[in-house]
Structure 1
Amino acid sequence: MGGSGGPPLCFPNLNSSCRRLLHPPQRTILLYTLMASVSLLTVVLNLLVVVSISHFKQLHTPTNALLLSLAVSDLLLGLLVMPIEGLHYIETCWLLGRLMCALSPYLSYCLLSVSLGSMVLISVDRYIAICDPLLYSSKITVNRVKLSVCFCWVCSLLYNCCILMEHIGWPDRFSSCHGECVVFISRTSGTVDFFFSFVGPCGVMFILYMKVFVVAVSQVRAIQSQVTVRAAPAAKKSELKAARTLGIVIVVFLMCSCPYYYPSFAGDDTSTSLPYYTLLFWMVLTNSCVNPVIYVLFYLWFRRAIKLIVTLRILQPHSREAKIL
């Protein structure tokens, strides 16, 4: 049918195949190049974060353990989700089969939930570091952070399994033809997800960072006026700088994520067949590439670590003890 002058099909040998929308060759090459570049850049930059924090002992801190979790989820998004979503968009057909149609959305939802959970944990970490600096070292330890990160990953797996249960069990339920993979989330499930995956976490981050901002401003004013506050010891300057940088990471994340929840906010059903869904989803994915760029701009230790990694000096003996901070 596809070879007899009819419209191009995703699977020419199947009469029930979906029609295929062909892009001009130049546009196809450009899209593949752009998709591969963004995916590769996301993987490389986040891999540098993972290697830096994992290798150098000075970077084995509770805050960096949270950044490591965020970098791992962003790396997997660039390595697995971006190529699949790019292939689907460029080819305008789902070519990966029924099993991948069930697993791919689940994987992407889980990784995005882990990223959001890591942001919330980072907000809690910065709140205690700035607002309660004396008790920070006793309250926030590397082992406790690791347990929190594991809990975040497990909760993401279980939560998204509940949200996408119908799709995982019946991935072609809303597919009208072969070569189509439609993820449909009902208005009820979408509303629940909107509050649990967006409103709740964003509310927590906003409240904590407003308190951090108020305390930080008061401490800066106290330092400028050379007033020593014994009852409430000031946080270190490095802690304030880290709070500012991680605040920027959270703000950028929210800017990229807010449009994605527009259907839920408007009270509509969420479906991958929406004409603007691809744009909204890729805005969320692009954030995975932006985070390491923020680290490069604001973290001196990350720039030093990159230099040691690129020059292969991390292969030298005792490189784990190198002074990064």
Structure 2
Amino acid sequence: KAVSSGQTESHHKRTHTNGTFNCSHYGNGSCPENERALAIRAAMYAFMAGAIVITVFGNLAMIVSIFYFKQLHTPTNFLILSMAVTDFLLGLIIMPYSMVRSVENCWYFGLAFCKIHYSFDLMLSITSIFHLCSVAIDRFYAICYPLRYSTKMTIPVIKRLVFLCWSVPGAFAFGVVFSEAYADGIEGYDTLVACSSSCPVTFNKLWGTTLFMAGFFTPGSVMVGIYGKIFAVSRKHALAINNTSENQNTQMKKDTKAAKTLGIVMGVFLLCWFPCFFTILLDPFLNFSTPAVLFDALTWFGYFNSTCNPLIYGFFYPWFRRALKYILLGKIFSSHFQNTDLFTQKETE
């Protein structure tokens, strides 16, 4: 993500001589004059700031809703809660700094924070897709093996899944970035870092391929396969609805709708992040010739996935709209509202 933001020269132009850096191709490390007109910069700030506000407050509403309302304390929703935390953190601690870099064409926050920022950026993107994989597994058991669901997807199992979703991407992202393994073998990379006024992180062929395969393609393929099976079973359920009891009928409809909604969330994620991950894969094989502005645009296209998720939930889930209304009205400060029935709009004392 944001792999080559601010990169202004191709790697074959970088030179390193006698332990000193020749920065003639990069300037002296100070920020170049921004060539964008003031009106364009203002429009970019307004658009990106709007996306940040929706991302932060939309996902915060999802977090508060699931955490507060007892009716929403289900295994699936705990996974969605953890995924909303991922999107919330992306909007709160990643997107604002990326916004400044994107608009000003410069990284003002130092090399050390550049690595921290990029590590969290990479971690959160992989964490999101791991969460989606976990949700796909949860829905697979709920719809395809409903009699086993309560014994397979228990709260301890969900806790272990959440731990894996956070720990594995975190170890990978911080390990690769702070060890600078991603840059091994890239000629002139030290010069780029020493001379550039941006926050350059460029993956070599090995780590670019590893990131694409392990962080995106493999879990993405697993999700697509699982949801293919889920939708096949859902169609069978739809044909069998007339021959089932009313309670079974209602549960089948709920499970099918949940699977469709989460399938849309998965599809939006793959659509938003595939171009960026694919470019990371191809860039080292193209002699790092991808324009910086394209990398930046693809990175923000990926960020917008975190903006879309609460909008998708709001559009497809009436319970989320009701929960949001109660939050905005301040009714959640009354303890008895924890037992509100969000599905029928009746309250239980």
Q: Any conservation in 2 of the 1:129–1:235 contact (CA below 8 Å)?
A: no
Deviations 1:234-267 (A, max 9, x none): 9622111101110110011111011112224536
Pair 1:243 & 2:259 matched: yes
Secondary structure, counterpart of 1:174 in structure 2 = helix
Deviation of 1:67 after TM superposition, in Å, equals: 0.6
Alignment partners' CA distance in 2, 1:222 and 1:288: 36
Whichever residue aligns with residue 134 of structure 1, its letter is L
CA 1:17–1:123: 2 relative to 1, 3 Å: same
- Which segment drifts farther, 97-106 or 22-31? 22-31
The one of 105, 108, 114 equivalent to 1:92 is 105
Alignment partners' CA distance in 2, 1:208 and 1:150: 21
Secondary structure, counterpart of 1:283 in structure 2 = helix
The one of 61, 77, 87 equivalent to 2:90 is 77
Q: Any conservation in 2 of the 1:54–1:60 contact (CA below 8 Å)?
A: yes
Stretches of structure 1 lacking an aligned partner (at least 5 in a row): 1-13
Pair 1:253 & 2:269 matched: yes
Q: Any conservation in 2 of the 1:55–1:320 contact (CA below 8 Å)?
A: yes
The one of 121, 126, 142 equivalent to 1:108 is 121
Deviations 1:169-206 (A, max 9, x none): 99966325252221011011111111101111011101
Pair 1:184 & 2:202 matched: yes
Q: Any conservation in 2 of the 1:164–1:185 contact (CA below 8 Å)?
A: no
CA 1:80–1:219: 2 relative to 1, 3 Å: same
Deviation of 1:166 after TM superposition, in Å, equals: 3.6
Q: Any conservation in 2 of the 1:314–1:320 contact (CA below 8 Å)?
A: yes
**What's the Cα RMSD here?**
2.5
Give the alignment's TM-score, normalised by structure 1: 0.88
Tell me the matched-pair count: 308
Q: Any conservation in 2 of the 1:35–1:86 contact (CA below 8 Å)?
A: yes
Stretches of structure 2 lacking an aligned partner (at least 5 in a row): 1-26, 184-188, 344-349
- Which segment drifts farther, 233-242 or 84-93? 233-242
Alignment partners' CA distance in 1, 2:99 and 2:301: 13
Q: Any conservation in 2 of the 1:128–1:136 contact (CA below 8 Å)?
A: yes
Pair 1:44 & 2:57 matched: yes
> What aligned pairs does 1:156-175 form with structure 2 within 5 A after superposition?
156-167=169-180, 174-175=192-193
Deviations 1:190-239 (A, max 9, x none): 1111110111101110111111011111111122xx3459xx99962211
The one of 177, 196, 204 equivalent to 2:214 is 196
Alignment partners' CA distance in 1, 2:236 and 2:340: 35
Match in the other structure for 2:224: 206
The one of 135, 140, 145 equivalent to 2:153 is 140
Secondary structure, counterpart of 1:184 in structure 2 = coil
The one of 282, 286, 297 equivalent to 1:279 is 297
Alignment partners' CA distance in 2, 1:317 and 1:172: 57
Deviation of 1:123 after TM superposition, in Å, equals: 0.4
Alignment partners' CA distance in 1, 2:298 and 2:28: 32
Q: Any conservation in 2 of the 1:16–1:178 contact (CA below 8 Å)?
A: yes
Match in the other structure for 1:9: none
Secondary structure, counterpart of 1:175 in structure 2 = helix
Whichever residue aligns with residue 44 of structure 1, its letter is F
Match in the other structure for 2:36: 23
CA 1:280–1:318: 2 relative to 1, 3 Å: same
Secondary structure, counterpart of 2:311 in structure 1 = helix
- Which segment drifts farther, 259-268 or 57-66? 259-268
Match in the other structure for 1:11: none
Give the alignment's TM-score, normalised by structure 2: 0.82
Pair 1:289 & 2:307 matched: yes
Deviations 1:269-305 (A, max 9, x none): 5799634100111011000010010101111110110
